[in-house]
C-alpha cells in the first residue's frame, strides 16, 4: 500500500507539472505575457462583489501594478466609502459606481469599465502609465471556492470579531487566535469592519493577501495554479482572457514579501465617507511612477538619515525604549517613542513618506516583516513603528 501511495503521489506531481507547463505555453501567447516579456508593467483593478442585484457594491477594491523588471507588485487598497464626484451622477462613494451601472445596464463589462475610469480619475492617473488597464471582478462564490481549493488560508485574528446581519445572512464570530480559514470563513474575515471601520478592514485584507501570497509561492500550491484558476473561472469576469489571468498567476513564482508594496489610499474619514488627501496621494503616485516631487513636504525627508517614531502597543513597560536603543544601535534616528493608545497583537512598520525601502530596513532591524505604506508627512518622520505582542 505504501508503494501504491508513493506512486499516486508521483503521478499527481507529474500531472501538476505537465498541466503547469501546458498552461504556461498557452499563456505565453497572451497580451499580458507579451508585456511581461518586454519588461512593461501591467496595471489594473481587482474588486469583489456579492452579486446581490439590489446591493451589488464593490466591497473590496484594489489598484495594482506589477513591474516584471524587478518582480515588484504595488497594491493600493481603496476604501469602499472613498468619496467620488462624478458629473451627472448622484452617487458619492466609489463602491456605488459599479452598483449603479450594473443595476442600470445588467452588463458587467459596462459597469466594470465605469469603475475602472472612476478609479483612474480618483487617483489622478488617467492618461499616465499608472492608469489601470485591466479589470478583474471576482464574486464571493468564486472567492470561497478559490480558498477551499487552495486548502484554506491561515491567519491570525487580532481582535474579537462579532457581527450579525440577518438580512444579509452574514454572521461573524471570532475570538483572537490562529485560524485556518475555509472559503466562507475567509470571506467573513475580509468583510468584517468593526470599530476600526474601513481602515481596520483594509489591514485585515492586507494580512489575508500576504497569507495568500506566502501560500501561493509554495511548490505545492504553485503546481495547482491552473486548477485553481479553472475552478473559479465561472466566477471571474475580466476585460482580458483566462490565458492572461493564468499568465499573471504563474508569475507569482517571482514574488517575495519584500517585493510587494501594500498601501492604503491616503485620506481621512469624514462622516460616512473616506476623503482623499490630494497632496499625499499625488506624492504616492509620483513615487510609484518614478517621478520625484520636489515641492512635496515629504519629499525631502528620505534624503536625510532615516527618522523613526516608536510606539509600544503591548503594555509591557519600557518596550518602546528598548526598541529605540536597538534601532539607534543599527544607525537609525529615533526622534520619538512612547506608548500606543490601543493593544496590538502584531508589530507593524509604517512607511510615512513613500520610501518603503527605508521602512523595510527598520523592520529588518527589529526582526519583523509587516511593512505598509500609509503616507502622512505631518508626522515628520520617515517611518513609524507600532510594537505588538509578537515583538521579541
DSSP for 219-274, written as a single string: HHHHTTHHHHHHHTGGGEEESS-HHHHHHHHHGGGG--GGGEEEEE-SEEEETTEE
**CA proximity to 387, closest of 311, 336, 329, 308:** 311
Backbone angles phi and psi of 378, in degrees to 5? -65, -20
Statement: residue 22 has pLDDT above 90? no
Fold of 294-387: Alpha-Beta Plaits (3.30.70)
* pLDDT class of 327 with cuts at 50, 70, 90: very high
Banded pLDDT at 23 (limits 50, 70, 90): very low
* Paired residues of 82 in beta bridges: 274
Annotated domain spans of the chain: 12-288, 294-387
CATH number listed for the domain at residues 12-288: 3.40.630.190
pLDDT surpasses 90 at 308: yes
pLDDT of residue 8: 47
DSSP, residue by residue, 259-285: GEEEEE-SEEEETTEEEE-HHHHHHHH
Chain segment 360-369, per-residue pLDDT in tens: 899 999 998 8
The residue among 191, 197, 163, 165 whose CA lies nearest residue 271 is 197
Among 40-44, 160-164, 203-207, 250-254, the least confident range: 250-254
pLDDT band at 28 (very low <50, low <70, confident <90, very high): low
Task: Look at residue 51 in the predicted model and tell me its pLDDT.
Answer: 58
Give the chain's largest Cα–Cα span.
71
Q: Is the pLDDT of residue 315 over 60?
A: yes
Amino acid at each position: 500500500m505504501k508503494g501504491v501511495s508513493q506512486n499516486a503521489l508521483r503521478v499527481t506531481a507529474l500531472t501538476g507539472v505537465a498541466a503547469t507547463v501546458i498552461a504556461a505555453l498557452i499563456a505565453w501567447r497572451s497580451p499580458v505575457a507579451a508585456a511581461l516579456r518586454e519588461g512593461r508593467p501591467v496595471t489594473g483593478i481587482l474588486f469583489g462583489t456579492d452579486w446581490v442585484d439590489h446591493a451589488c457594491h464593490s466591497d473590496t477594491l484594489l489598484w495594482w501594478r506589477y513591474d516584471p523588471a524587478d518582480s515588484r507588485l504595488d497594491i493600493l487598497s481603496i476604501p469602499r466609502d472613498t468619496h467620488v464626484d462624478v458629473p451627472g451622477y448622484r452617487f458619492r462613494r466609489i463602491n456605488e459606481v459599479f452598483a449603479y451601472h450594473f443595476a442600470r445596464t445588467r452588463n458587467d463589462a459596462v459597469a466594470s469599465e465605469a469603475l475602472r475610469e472612476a478609479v483612474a480619475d480618483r487617483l489622478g492617473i488617467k492618461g499616465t502609465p499608472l492608469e489601470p488597464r485591466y479589470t478583474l471582478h471576482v464574486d464571493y462564490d468564486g472567492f470561497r471556492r478559490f480558498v477551499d481549493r487552495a486548502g484554506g488560508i491561515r491567519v491570525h485574528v487580532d481582535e474579537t470579531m462579532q457581527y450579525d446581519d440577518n438580512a444579509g445572512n452574514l454572521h461573524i464570530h471570532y475570538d483572537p487566535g490562529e485560524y485556518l480559514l475555509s472559503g466562507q470563513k475567509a470571506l467573513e474575515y475580509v468583510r468584517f469592519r468593526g470599530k476600526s471601520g474601513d481602515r481596520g478592514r483594509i489591514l485585515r485584507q492586507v494580512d489575508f493577501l500576504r497569507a495568500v501570497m506566502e501560500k501561493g509561492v509554495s511548490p505545492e500550491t504553485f503546481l495547482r495554479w491552473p486548477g485553481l484558476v479553472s475552478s473559479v473561472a465561472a466566477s471571474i469576469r475580466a476585460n482580458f482572457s483566462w490565458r492572461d489571468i493564468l499568465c499573471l498567476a504563474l508569475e507569482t513564482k517571482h514574488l517575495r514579501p519584500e517585493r510587494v508594496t501594500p498601501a492604503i489610499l491616503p485620506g481621512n474619514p469624514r462622516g460616512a465617507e473616506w476623503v482623499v488627501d490630494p497632496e499625499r496621494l499625488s506624492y504616492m503616485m509620483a513615487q510609484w511612477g518614478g517621478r520625484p516631487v520636489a515641492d512635496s513636504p515629504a519629499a525631502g525627508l528620505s534624503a536625510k538619515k532615516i527618522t523613526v517614531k516608536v510606539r509600544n502597543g503591548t503594555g509591557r513597560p519600557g518596550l518602546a525604549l528598548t526598541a529605540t536603543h536597538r534601532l539607534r544601535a543599527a544607525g537609525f534616528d529615533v526622534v520619538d517613542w512612547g506608548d500606543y493608545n490601543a493593544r496590538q497583537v502584531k508589530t507593524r512598520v509604517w512607511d510615512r513618506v513613500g520610501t518603503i525601502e527605508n521602512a523595510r530596513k527598520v523592520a529588518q532591524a527589529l526582526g519583523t516583516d509587516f511593512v505598509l505604506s500609509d503616507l502622512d508627512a505631518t508626522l515628520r518622520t520617515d517611518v513609524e513603528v507600532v510594537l505588538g505582542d509578537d515583538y521579541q
